[in-house]
Amino acid sequence: MKLICAWCGVPIDRPEYRRDLEPATSHGMCSSCSKALSVQEHGASLQQHLDTIPVPVLLIDDHSSVVTMNVRASDILGKKSNEEATQLFGRVFDCIHSRTPEGCGRNIHCAGCTIRRSVRKTFDTGEPQVAIPATLSVTNPDDISEAVLAVTTVKIGELVVLRID
């Protein structure tokens, strides 16, 4: 099996994968990208490492809450601080369904949310989801709009890293 990094696309050489059995491709995270997400590498904090990643990245816990996000995600999502980010990811994304009386994750539309399903599948199986197309109805001060995204998820420890393209 061919294994490539879901983040940077480089081949990952791991002897435990028997390449001669299957020509399939799977995704993981190379050591360079993994180091960028480690808590203490060269004395830098997790947030400092996340902020070096040039694409929007959010860390999601098992309850679908955003633990933190990098500065790129914060800029794109219009969040001024990480305090605004530490809530259910539907609220962080300003999903219109998170504003209903049922709330984020409890609305009938949430079951069909591609982002939610991708994060949940990675939590449940450990399998990364790579460049999954997603459409999200979001609110802004003037109206409701559709955001077209591609999401990639990788499980690291007890968290899922959610990359937005």
**Per-residue model confidence as pLDDT tens digits over 24-43:** 667 777 777 776 665 444 55
pLDDT of residue 42: 56
How would residue 155 be classed by pLDDT, with cut points 50, 70 and 90?
very high
**Per-residue model confidence as pLDDT tens digits over 52-111:** 888 999 999 998 889 989 989 888 888 765 555 567 878 888 888 877 888 777 888 888
Strand order across the 159-164 sheet: 66-69, 57-60, 159-164, 144-156, 129-139
Strand partners of residue 82: none
- State what percent of residues in the chain have pLDDT above 70: 79
In angstroms, rounded to a whole number, what is the distance separating the alpha carbons of residues 55 and 33? 12
pLDDT of residue 40: 43
In angstroms, rounded to a whole number, what is the distance separating the alpha carbons of residues 36 and 45? 10
Domain boundaries, the chain: 54-164
CATH topology for the 54-164 domain:
Beta-Lactamase (3.30.450)
In angstroms, rounded to a whole number, what is the distance separating the alpha carbons of residues 35 and 19? 25
CB atoms inside a 10 Å sphere around CB 52:
11
In angstroms, rounded to a whole number, what is the distance separating the alpha carbons of residues 6 and 11? 10
